[in-house]
């Protein structure tokens, strides 16, 4: 199959940027105003977002939840989170969007940070006012750096991003009462497992093979995944490959059979059943949008 550039859009507009080291920052009001302050339900495959709400109010709609946004807060939305907004016209704040792969690359030696942030989080400003103020300053500095062409721009952006997400992680830890540790043995195994999945994306391995690479049993690997992520090892693998399939469906011209075979599904019909079971749509319907 021919290689194709994989491009992504934020809100359905023409896809004009590429992964894996994607980073974008803008004011919340800039994007919201274009959509008359009502952004329909959508999700971003492979993209992670940090929202900084400073003033105004609105509602966040998640798949099965409606959340009122009436106080200054930080909102974390991990990749593939179905969400939408209805916001007041006086809303003020910033939104940072970046690729999930970029986060995991930056925090390769501190996997507890992307793991902790891999969930929907609401961090109220008043719960840690000093850190909220620092995060506000960091995201403003990052935004300024993004819009200017200065020497060593990539280095500075990565430094700001590392500081920003580390401060968000610390704020989460302070509010939730979790200790800032270097991660448990289970977390280390889980992150090594996820890294192995990414590296062996084609072809897939069996759970027994993944476990053997970690020098543990498949039963132990399942126990770790349930403890850390609330999923079985098979579900973790399945989720990754379904996201890969979505990427191909949206951003390449590969046939459904070609996508199935490239991801090591030997039967395209089985691939289609699995895909529909996870996403609620057949691959063909998903591609049509």
pTM given for the model: 0.65
DSSP-derived secondary structure for the chain = ------EE-SSSS---EESSS-EEEEEHHHHHHHTTTEEEEE--TTEEEEEEEEE--EEEEETTEEEEE-S-EEEEE-TT--EEEEE-TT-EEEEEEEEHHHHHHHTTT-THHHHHTSS-EEEEGGGSHHHHHHHHHHHHHHHHHHTS--TTHHHHHHHHHHHHHHHHHHHHHHHHT----S--HHHHHHHHHHHHHHHT-SS---HHHHHHHHTS-HHHHHHHHHHHHSS-HHHHHHHHHHHHHHHHHHH----HHHHHHHTT-S-HHHHHHHHHHHHSS-HHHHHH-
Q: What is the pLDDT of residue 82?
A: 81
Per-residue pLDDT 10s for the chain (289 aa) are 333 333 334 554 444 444 457 889 999 999 899 899 999 888 787 789 999 999 998 999 886 678 898 889 999 998 878 889 999 999 999 999 998 878 878 887 787 788 788 788 999 999 999 999 999 999 999 999 999 999 999 999 999 999 999 999 999 989 887 544 444 678 778 878 887 887 776 567 889 999 999 999 999 999 988 887 778 999 888 888 888 888 888 878 889 999 998 888 888 999 999 999 888 899 999 888 7
Q: What is the pLDDT of residue 40?
A: 87
Q: What is the pLDDT of residue 167?
A: 97
Q: What is the pLDDT of residue 64?
A: 67
Q: What is the pLDDT of residue 17?
A: 42
Q: What is the pLDDT of residue 91?
A: 93
Q: What is the pLDDT of residue 242?
A: 87
193 Cβ neighbours under 8 A, 6+ residues apart: 210, 214, 221, 224, 225, 233, 236
Q: What is the pLDDT of residue 20?
A: 54
How buried is 140 (Cβ within 10 angstroms: 0-12 exposed, 13-18 middle, 19+ buried)?
middle
What structural domains and CATH numbers belong to the chain?
A: 7-176 (2.60.120.280), 185-288 (1.10.10.60)
Question: 231-239: which pairs have CB atoms within 8 A and are 24 or more residues apart?
Answer: 233/193, 233/207, 234/207, 236/193, 236/194, 236/197, 237/197, 237/204, 237/207, 237/210, 238/274, 238/278, 239/278
């Amino acid at each position: 199959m021919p290689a194709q550039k994989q491009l992504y859009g934020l809100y359905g507009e023409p896809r004009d940027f590429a992964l894996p080291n994607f980073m974008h920052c803008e004011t919340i009001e800039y994007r919201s105003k274009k959509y008359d302050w009502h952004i329909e339900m959508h999700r971003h495959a492979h993209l992670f977002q940090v929202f900084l709400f400073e003033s105004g109010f609105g509602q966040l709609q998640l798949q099965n939840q409606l959340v009122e946004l009436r106080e200054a807060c930080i909102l974390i939305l991990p990749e593939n989170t179905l969400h939408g907004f209805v916001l007041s016209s006086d809303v003020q704040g910033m939104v940072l969007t970046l690729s999930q792969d970029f986060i995991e690359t930056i925090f390769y030696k501190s996997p507890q940070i992307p793991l902790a942030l891999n969930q929907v989080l609401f961090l109220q400003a008043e719960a840690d006012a000093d850190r909220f103020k620092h995060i506000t300053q960091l995201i403003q500095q990052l935004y300024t750096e993004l819009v200017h062409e200065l020497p060593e721009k990539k280095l500075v952006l990565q430094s700001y991003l590392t500081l920003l997400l580390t401060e968000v992680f610390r704020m989460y830890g302070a509010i939730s009462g979790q200790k800032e540790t270097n991660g448990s043995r289970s977390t280390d195994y889980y992150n090594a497992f996820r890294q192995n999945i990414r590296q062996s994306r084609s072809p897939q391995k069996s759970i027994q093979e993944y476990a053997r690479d970690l020098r543990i049993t498949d039963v132990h690997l399942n126990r770790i995944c349930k403890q850390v992520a609330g999923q079985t090892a098979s579900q973790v693998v399945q989720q990754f490959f379904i996201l890969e399939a979505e990427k191909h469906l949206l951003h390449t011209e590969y046939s459904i059979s070609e996508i199935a075979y490239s991801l090591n599904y030997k039967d395209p019909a089985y691939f289609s059943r699995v895909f529909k079971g996870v996403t609620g749509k057949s691959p063909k319907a998903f591609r049509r949008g």
